[in-house]
Amino acid sequence: MVCQFQRTIQKPVQIKGIGLHSGLPVTLKLLPARANDGINFIKNGVIIPAKIGYAHSFEFSTSLYNDGEIVRTVEHLMAALYLTGIDNLYIEIDNEEVPILDGSAKPFIEAIKKAGIYSLKEEKVYAVLNSYVRVENGDKFIEGRPYHTFRATFQADYPNNIIGNKFFTYEAEKRDAFLGVSAARTYCFLEEVEYLKSKGLAKGGSLENAVVFDSKTETVLNPDGLRYEDEPVRHKVLDLIGDLYLLGYPIIGDVYSFKGGHKLNAEFVKTLIAEDAFDLKTASEVIKSLDVKRKECPDVLGKVA
Ligand code: ZN
């Protein structure tokens, strides 16, 4: 499925919350942008492009940095922008971390729905994978290969039964594919919480914005339980989608992650660039070369509650 035209939003919209790791209050303002502007954060007057060349650190989240200014935990917002087909946007932020909200991409998608989508006249540009790429770290790896649409899979392999070796695949062509990942929340294990706090992380974490598993008793601590039985692997696919969008273009290709995290996701995106493993093609060129049907962009917003 290929959407033909670039998108931004119709009018500004504001999002308030707290940072998952910083615990600090933060306000985001999403602002319309012109065609080919791309996705950019603005912090204290500094523009921080949402591109891999500005990616900074990857410990439990993805951060961007430019000219003395940092923005942390961008991945769920980036995933929401990919899922709603937004190519161009300015994001004003008044603190160091994107709000965690409910731990998923859903509240960002709802904000975009409120702002409305604006279709620009310029065609969308896709990064079409042209060769096999693999990055690895120990037993973790991510592979990419050419494919006629965008597909992203995450395979877990935990030594417990509560997540175990579940996997999930997002396939852009599938009807309502976004519903499979958009509401999946971030998660951690109870035994990790102390470690995270000792590193100055997860200060804003709570059962309101994260799923917490107790792997000893194999239970979920959140009183309402899980949103999907395989919510963690769906969330890992969401993270992968958000990190991949730091390439600066939506990918057409098949990406498979075995236990990858933000660091490996970023390394994969850097390797795509280093190995010249993709061609930039306009929507018309994609439609021609891959013999895919031109379809309207998915009606993501109509389906958001
Ligand atoms: Zn995440």
The pLDDT, as a whole number, for residue 174 is 87
Average pLDDT over residues 277-285: 95
Pairing of strands 133-137, 140-145: antiparallel
User: In terms of domains, do 115 and 159 share one?
Assistant: no
d(CA 35, ligand 1 centre) in Å:
28
d(CA 302, ligand 1 centre) in Å:
24
d(CA 61, ligand 1 centre) in Å:
7
d(CA 76, ligand 1 centre) in Å:
6
The pLDDT, as a whole number, for residue 291 is 65
pLDDT digits (tens, 9 = 90+) for 196-218: 989 888 999 999 999 999 988 99
Is 36 a member of any domain? yes
Pairing of strands 46-49, 64-66: unpaired
Say if residue 305's pLDDT is above 50: no
* Domain total in the chain: 2
CA 158 to chain CA centroid, Å, is 22
User: In terms of domains, do 89 and 100 share one?
Assistant: yes
Average pLDDT, the chain: 94
To 5 degrees, how large is the angle CA 242–CA 270–CA 284?
65
**CATH number of the domain within which 259 lies:** 3.30.1700.10
The pLDDT, as a whole number, for residue 184 is 98
**CATH number of the domain within which 8 lies:** 3.30.230.20
Is 291 a member of any domain? yes
Say if residue 156's pLDDT is above 80: yes
Is 112 a member of any domain? yes
d(CA 175, CA 185): 21
d(CA 292, ligand 1 centre) in Å:
31
Average pLDDT over residues 51-60: 90
Model confidence band, residue 297 (pLDDT cutoffs 50, 70, 90): low
Tell me which of 71, 91, 123 is where a domain ends: 123
User: In terms of domains, do 107 and 243 share one?
Assistant: no
- Which tokens go with 46? 């500094």
User: In terms of domains, do 41 and 155 share one?
Assistant: no
- Which tokens go with 115? 């702002």
Average pLDDT over residues 61-77: 97
Average pLDDT over residues 179-200: 92
- Looking at the DSSP bridge assignments, the partners of residue 140 are 137
Average pLDDT over residues 2-9: 92
The pLDDT, as a whole number, for residue 60 is 87
d(CA 13, ligand 1 centre) in Å:
22
Can you say whether residue 68 is alpha, beta or left, with left for phi > 0 and alpha for psi between -120 and 50 degrees? left
Tell me the CA distances in angstroms from 102 to 29, 82, 152, 221, one per residue in order. 18, 19, 23, 15
pTM of the model: 0.96
User: In terms of domains, do 97 and 139 share one?
Assistant: no
User: In terms of domains, do 153 and 280 share one?
Assistant: yes
- Which tokens go with 188? 């951690």
User: In terms of domains, do 118 and 148 share one?
Assistant: no
User: In terms of domains, do 289 and 212 share one?
Assistant: yes
pLDDT digits (tens, 9 = 90+) for 78-119: 999 999 999 999 999 999 999 999 999 999 999 999 999 999
Model confidence band, residue 55 (pLDDT cutoffs 50, 70, 90): very high
Residues with catalytic annotation? Answer: 262
Q: Which amino acid is at 177?
A: A
Is 305 a member of any domain? no
User: In terms of domains, do 191 and 118 share one?
Assistant: no
Pairing of strands 251-258, 125-129: parallel
Is 304 a member of any domain? no
DSSP conformational letter for 248? S
Q: Please, what is the end-to-end C-alpha distance for the chain in angstroms?
A: 24
Is 300 a member of any domain? no
Average pLDDT over residues 226-253: 97
pLDDT digits (tens, 9 = 90+) for 252-278: 999 999 999 999 999 999 999 999 999
The pLDDT, as a whole number, for residue 301 is 66
- Whose CA is closest to 272, among 148, 130, 175? 130
User: In terms of domains, do 115 and 186 share one?
Assistant: no
Is 302 a member of any domain? no
Name the residue range of residue 33's domain: 2-123
User: In terms of domains, do 115 and 133 share one?
Assistant: no
Tell me which of 100, 123, 146 is where a domain ends: 123
d(CA 287, ligand 1 centre) in Å:
32
Is 18 a member of any domain? yes
User: In terms of domains, do 199 and 228 share one?
Assistant: yes
Tell me which of 97, 123, 149 is where a domain ends: 123
d(CA 120, ligand 1 centre) in Å:
30
